[in-house]
Amino acid sequence: MTEAIFGPVGRLVVEVVEGMGNFTLLIRSSFQWFFRARVEWRQTLIQMLFIGLESLPVTAMTTFFTGMVLALQSGASSKYFFNEPLFVGTVVAFSMVMELSPVMTALVVSGRAGAAIAAELGTMKVTEQVDALYTLGTDPVRYLVIPRVLAFLMVLPFLSVVSDFTGIFGGWVVAHAKLGIPTTVYWHDIVDNMEPRHFFHGFLKNYVFAFVIAFICCYKGITTSGGAQGVGRATTNAVVYSMVAVLVMDYFVTAVLVALGIP
């Protein structure tokens, strides 16, 4: 009876703890390889191009429309209260730069590049290509994981800055064409209020997001088992875990940055 109830729960607890332990080991092992100065720069470059090109159109598109929506809504609400659209540029730029660009970029990249990486590494695992790396004198952490982690760390901030611009541009399109706000007003609403620390608030988030997405997707990939079905499961899990981790980490990073006076 107790076995029937606690058996599965116990196994689940063991599995979760074991999984987290292995995940931590992967991160540790990556740092060891990294500091032994054995970085595969060629692979890193290939991955940077892959992640960047794969995700750029989608992130640009997504944040462009987000900027448009922000302008429309803030314009509508300030019209309701003040009879004219005020501070639309400020609302769009602050929302994009501090919060929405990094988060939306991270979510889109999880779904595009993260999924692709989990599926690729998962397929390599179940077809023994990961084992083949060991027999040929290298190691999946060195050859597969580190290049992808580095690529994410370098590309995600870049994508996010592009998203800042596409978002603000999207906001401008609506402000200009639909709300009738002069371009100079929109622009001054932004530059008169924004300071470098606002930019860094959003920018620093990217590194945390890149780190969690890359490690989760690589971990899910190289621990895949169970053939084609296993690859599918690993891919879905990688995306879901990355997205949840991004949103959860976002809160804690924001809390830390606010505490440090980088609002």
Partner 1 sequence: MIIAESVKKSFGHRSVLRGASLKVETGETLVIIGGSGTGKSTFIKTVIGLVKPDSGSIKVDGQDLTRIKTEEGLAAYRRNFGYLFQEGALFDSLRVWENVVFGLRYLTDTPFSQYRKIATDKLALVGLKDVEDLMPSELSGGMKKRVALARAIAAEPSYILYDEPTTGLDPIMSDVINDLIMDLQKQLKVTSIVVSHDMKSAYKIASRIAMIYEGKFIEVGTPEQIKTTSNPYVRQFVEGLSQGPIKMKIKEFEA
Q: Footprint of partner 1 on this chain (CB under 8 A)?
A: 120, 124, 127-129, 131-132, 134-139
Q: How far is the CB of 232 from partner 1 (least distance, A)?
A: 18
Distance CA 199, CA 97 (A): 6
Closest CA to 110 of 211, 205, 15, 41: 211
Cα angle at 228 between 222 and 233, to 5 degrees? Answer: 65
- Characterize 225-248 residue by residue with b for buried, 16 or more Cβ atoms within 10 angstroms of its Cβ, and e for exposed: eeeeebbebbbebbbebbbebbee
Q: How far is the CB of 129 from partner 1 (least distance, A)?
A: 5
Q: How far is the CB of 93 from partner 1 (least distance, A)?
A: 41
- Characterize 40-73 residue by residue with b for buried, 16 or more Cβ atoms within 10 angstroms of its Cβ, and e for exposed: beebbeebbebbbebbbebbbebbbebbbebbbe
Closest CA to 131 of 246, 225, 244: 225
Distance CA 43, CA 149 (A): 11
* CB atoms near residue 217 (< 10 Å): 33
Q: Which two tokens stand for residue 31?
A: 């740092």
Nearer to partner 1, 137 or 196 (CB): 137
Nearer to partner 1, 129 or 254 (CB): 129
Q: How far is the CB of 3 from partner 1 (least distance, A)?
A: 15
Q: How far is the CB of 18 from partner 1 (least distance, A)?
A: 12
* N residues, the chain: 263
Nearer to partner 1, 6 or 134 (CB): 134
Nearer to partner 1, 132 or 177 (CB): 132
**209 with 156: CB under 8 angstroms?**
yes
* Residues 116, 122, 124, 127, CA torsion sign: negative
**164 with 170: CB under 8 angstroms?**
no
Q: How far is the CB of 240 from partner 1 (least distance, A)?
A: 26
Q: How far is the CB of 132 from partner 1 (least distance, A)?
A: 4
Nearer to partner 1, 33 or 203 (CB): 33
Nearer to partner 1, 158 or 232 (CB): 232
Nearer to partner 1, 135 or 184 (CB): 135
